[in-house]
Amino acid sequence: MEGKDEDVRVGANRYRERQAIGTAAQAEQDGKDYKEPPSAPLFEAGELSSWSFYRACIAEFVATFLFLYITVLTVMGVAKSSSKCNTVGVQGIAWAFGGMIFALVYCTAGISGGHINPAVTFGLFLARKLSLTRAVFYIMFQCLGAICGALVVKGFQPHQFERLGGAANSVSRTYSKGGGLGAEIVGTFVLVYTVFSATDAKRNARDSHVPILAPLPIGFAVFLVHLATIPVTGTGINPARSLGAALVYNKDQAWDDHWIFWVGPFIGAALAALYHQIVIRAIPFKSK
């Protein structure tokens, strides 16, 4: 029996893991080839004289413009049909939003980071991933892009745009404003938490495939959140998207609940940033 026990013990330890996994890998990586990047300065005046800064802003504008153009047209296509069987339905709307985010993040991540959403920009700013200067300009260009995207759709189909509500967000009559706010908070938390996890610099340093795959989980998170919250608020989780549709449609029903689509996403983004930085990465508790 002793010989058998020895065989089992030796056999179990004969072939060790070549690469540590899970928390073991994280512990192994600490103190080796990874160093925490410095926090972005609050103000960086030099950015305003840099072409790369304005190139990034333009990339955010174009990405948000394309995002609104495709998604608003998709929503209108579903809304105008008398039979939902003849349209892509709610699932198709969710795929349009998630798919566009996947494609646009992939295209613009190397230029601007591929935010395409003021809530994402706000969350990354709170985590000191970008300066206040860049955050403000990004949000401005995202909102301008969203407005222009909705304007182009209205220019193509002005009567249908007015008749179908312009894809403007509003809280469903079967839900309270508190329920709508909660849905926006949780939905944005899911999105921004996914953004932090998918773009984590430490994971990128350890796993070379992570940067390549980052747009996929982000787009998939947008898809899933839309499936869950379209019946509640039409799914905002992106203040620029909500502002663009509301401003171009410009009816009372688009403005009645509009505050929810700013307050909810910003709260959700702040909670996601705090959770990732304090709980997941434990950055405030790391020894200097």
Work out the pLDDT band at 33, boundaries 50, 70, 90. Answer: low
What average pLDDT score do residues 223-244 get?
96
In this model, does residue 206 exceed pLDDT 50? yes
Query: Do the Cβ atoms of 112 and 101 come closer than 8 Å?
Result: no
> What is the rounded CA–CA span in Å between residue 63 and residue 69?
10
> What is the rounded CA–CA span in Å between residue 153 and residue 176?
30
- Give the N- to C-terminal CA distance of the chain in Å, as an integer: 52
Please state which CATH class domain 48-280 belongs to: mainly alpha
Q: 135: Cβ–Cβ under 8 A, 6 or more apart, which residues?
A: 121, 122, 124, 125
> What is the rounded CA–CA span in Å between residue 108 and residue 89?
28
In this model, does residue 142 exceed pLDDT 80? yes
In this model, does residue 239 exceed pLDDT 60? yes
What pLDDT, on a 0 to 100 scale, did the predictor assign at position 84? 65
- Amino acid (1-letter code) at residue 81: S
In this model, does residue 28 exceed pLDDT 60? no
Query: Do the Cβ atoms of 40 and 129 come closer than 8 Å?
Result: yes
Work out the pLDDT band at 203, boundaries 50, 70, 90. Answer: low
What pLDDT, on a 0 to 100 scale, did the predictor assign at position 212? 66
Work out the pLDDT band at 1, boundaries 50, 70, 90. Answer: low
Q: 146: Cβ–Cβ under 8 A, 6 or more apart, which residues?
A: 64, 65, 67, 68, 240, 241, 243, 244, 245
Query: Do the Cβ atoms of 197 and 124 come closer than 8 Å?
Result: no
- CA angle 102-169-248, nearest 5°? 95
User: Could you tell me which residue, 36 or 263, shows the higher pLDDT?
Assistant: 263
By percentage, how much of the chain surpasses pLDDT 90? 67
Q: What is the number of other CB atoms lying within 10 angstroms of the CB of residue 175?
A: 16
Work out the pLDDT band at 276, boundaries 50, 70, 90. Answer: very high
Query: Do the Cβ atoms of 34 and 206 come closer than 8 Å?
Result: yes
What pLDDT, on a 0 to 100 scale, did the predictor assign at position 22? 39
What are the CA-CA distances from residue 55 to residues 40, 49, 120, 202, 270 (Å)? 19, 12, 19, 27, 27
What average pLDDT score do residues 138-159 get?
96
Lowest average pLDDT, out of 43-47, 111-115, 180-184, 194-198, goes to 43-47
Residue 209 has which token pair?
A: 């495939």
Lowest average pLDDT, out of 18-27, 43-52, 148-157, 196-205, goes to 18-27
What average pLDDT score do residues 163-171 get?
93
What are the CA-CA distances from residue 61 to residues 121, 129, 140, 275 (Å)? 13, 20, 9, 29
pTM recorded for the entire structure: 0.84
User: Could you tell me which residue, 22 or 154, shows the higher pLDDT?
Assistant: 154
In this model, does residue 58 exceed pLDDT 80? yes
What pLDDT, on a 0 to 100 scale, did the predictor assign at position 34? 62
What average pLDDT score do residues 197-217 get?
73
What average pLDDT score do residues 205-214 get?
62
What average pLDDT score do residues 231-240 get?
96
Q: 79: Cβ–Cβ under 8 A, 6 or more apart, which residues?
A: 164, 165, 167
Domain-by-domain residue ranges, the chain?
48-280
Lowest average pLDDT, out of 2-6, 99-103, 168-172, goes to 2-6
